[in-house]
Amino acid sequence: MNIFAVIVAAGSGERFGGRPKQLAPLSGMPMLAWSVKRLGDRRNITGLVCVVPPRGGDDIRGGLEGFGVGDIDAWPEGGETRQESVRNGLAALPPEATHVLIHDAARPCVTERLISRLTDALRDHDAVVPVTPAVDTLVHVEGDSVDRVVDRSHIAGVQTPQAFELGLIRRAHAAAKDTGTTASDDGSLVLALGERLATVEGERMNIKVTYAEDMAIADAILMLETRE
């Protein structure tokens, strides 16, 4: 296997006060730098592509300078949606790539343990996503009232990175473009093809930074990890 990583860092930060959250300071580095360092350590990953906002690549590259994040092989521009941004990132991978990890820059607390679980799973599966079991009571809401309680025994949350055989995920994205299918993650597009989607254990501390207050949680997690 020749595994590359695609980091999606093309968001506009609309839910983050309109600021580019990719460069928001987090435990001494820009948030994006954490994902770049951990996916770019070259132990399991051959190369790295970072998808940047349209016309915002220079700002992202400049914001990472001086933080020792290593080489990034390509800086493709994103599209109007995450799905389009991922498709652009896949198109930027070199011919020698056989597999890919797709990761959102908004998950800076990704660990080497999780990356290893995913790359190991690619030996037996063509599509793998990390999941965490639901722990809260889940309900279906109609208007301002609870309609019913949802059985959580088979419900899990899906995280990134997500790992794929490159031909399969490119085919899934091409089919989605042709049919107008949209999804919030890449594994869903594989399912839409009727292909099997395997799972590995995710990590509860691999949180997604969506709102400004999430930064404090991520900062605490990273501080704890660096002390271990």
- What confidence tens digit (pLDDT) does each residue in 67-116 have? 877 789 999 999 999 999 999 999 999 999 999 999 999 999 999 999 99
Q: Which residues pair with 192 in a beta bridge?
A: none
What is the rounded average pLDDT of the residues 26-36?
93
What is the rounded average pLDDT of the residues 195-224?
94
Exposure of 164 by Cβ count < 10 A (0-12 exposed, 13-18 middle, 19+ buried)? Answer: buried
User: For 3-130+157-227, CATH number?
Assistant: 3.90.550.10
Cα–Cα distance between 12 and 14 in angstroms, integer? Answer: 6
Average pLDDT of the chain is 92
- pLDDT, greater one: 96 or 60: 96
Out of 22-26, 58-62, 69-73, 194-198, which region has the weakest mean confidence (pLDDT)?
Answer: 69-73
- pLDDT, greater one: 44 or 203: 203
Asked whether 153 and 216 are in contact (CB, 8 A), the reply is no
Q: Directed axis angle between helix 214-227 and helix 31-39, to 10°? A: 40
What sign for the dihedral angle of Cα 217, 218, 224, 228?
A: positive
Q: What percent of the chain has pLDDT over 90?
A: 78
Exposure of 170 by Cβ count < 10 A (0-12 exposed, 13-18 middle, 19+ buried)? Answer: middle
